[in-house]
Amino acid sequence: MNFYKGKKVFVTGHTGFKGSWLCKMLVNAGAIVTGYSRGTKKEYSLFKIAEIEKDITSVYGDVCDYAALKAAFDAAQPEIVLHLAAQPIVRDSYKDPAYTYETNVMGTVNILECVRNSSCVKSFLNVTTDKVYLNKEWNWGYRENEELDGYDPYSNSKSCSELVTHSYKNSFFSDGSVAISTARAGNVIGGGDFANDRIIPDCIRAAMKHEDIVVRNPFSTRPYQHVLEPLYAYLMIAAKQYENGQFAGYYNVGPDDVDCFQTGALVDLFVSKWGEGMKWINHYDGGPHEANFLKLDCSKLKATFGWKPRWNLDTAIEMVVEWSKCWMNGEDVRACMDRQIDVFLKKGN
């Protein structure tokens, strides 16, 4: 993390769950951070709760608005760009596919145009998803050279975002002037996620209301990891390729096989950590298609950088519960985040 001291970093989607944690990590490391996002209108927002805005330069605009994005970008003159802005919810992509494609595909085009028309950037990372792959529901993890063809509009738009990045890399940055990578991460959990149609936020909302947790598909298997795991990997990739362009590429970021849990087992773990007599009920609501089995092969990331996950799922759930109870009890959320980041980073030393 010492690499980031004094570095100018531009983060799209900085007001989201992952973006907020990422900004906190960067600020703690001494980076000069500019965030660009539409903002959030949610009732609860980690960005607002943790007062991230007072630590960074925050610009509000749509990634689909190239002129506004470029103005913010040019003002920041970043050395490193981390592209997280997206419409990230599978179910929402069925409700509004055009907006999903516009944001996830043209948003990527626009930020890459900013990079192409600048001379300050040395490292660019596009954050996508484990759902970019053509899902064959097989029992082994997908590797980076597998076919890209997400099923639903969200997953497919992220596949398109990958292809846009590959094209720009080959067409405009083949001289190595800018190191370009994508990172495909599995499902993340952590304190401060209030998204709809995600299982841990559903658990937190049920806890707040003292209700049973409703689980739509307890038998779907996903690679769950604490949010700090992929964020650290993103920062590692961006730093390493900044120093040596040979590290630019496409990387899976996910947990070990032992932390690929069925949703019902994940909720069992949450209930055991939360206590207070919580329980869950199985209530399939006949929703749109979602992959039933999905996991990643992360051997490339491990072999290239010596990376490995730091927290298992048991610890990750403990951290979710710790943050959530800190917030619900009116305690210092920023201090809790700082403490968790510090513990996480020391775990790897």
Task: Determine the pLDDT at residue 23.
Answer: 98
Residue reference for tokens 């710790």:
322
pLDDT of residue 56: 98
What pLDDT, on the 0 to 100 scale, is given for residue 289? 62
Predicted pLDDT of residue 286: 60
Phi/psi for 287 (5° steps) reads -70, 180
Say if CB 126 and CB 179 are below 8 A apart.
no
Domain boundaries, the chain: 2-347
Share of the chain above pLDDT 70, in %: 97
| Residue 259, pLDDT score | 82
pLDDT at 287: 64
Residue 197: pLDDT band with limits 50, 70, 90: confident
Least confident of 49-53, 217-221, 343-347: 217-221
Query: pTM of the prediction?
Result: 0.94
pLDDT, position 343: 98
Beta strands 123-127 and 188-189 are: unpaired
pLDDT per residue as tens digits for the range 137-180? 887 899 999 999 999 999 999 999 999 999 999 999 999 999 99
For the domain made up of 2-347, the CATH class stated in words is alpha beta
Separation of alpha carbons 189 and 200, rounded Å: 7
> What pLDDT does residue 348 have?
66
Of residues 218 and 67, more confidence is placed in: 67
| Span 247-286, pLDDT tens digits | 999 999 999 887 888 899 999 999 999 999 999 999 876 6
CA distance 91 to 34: 30
Residues 303-331 pLDDT 10s: 999 999 999 999 999 999 999 999 999 99
Average pLDDT over every residue of 26-53: 95
Give the model's pLDDT for residue 191. Answer: 98
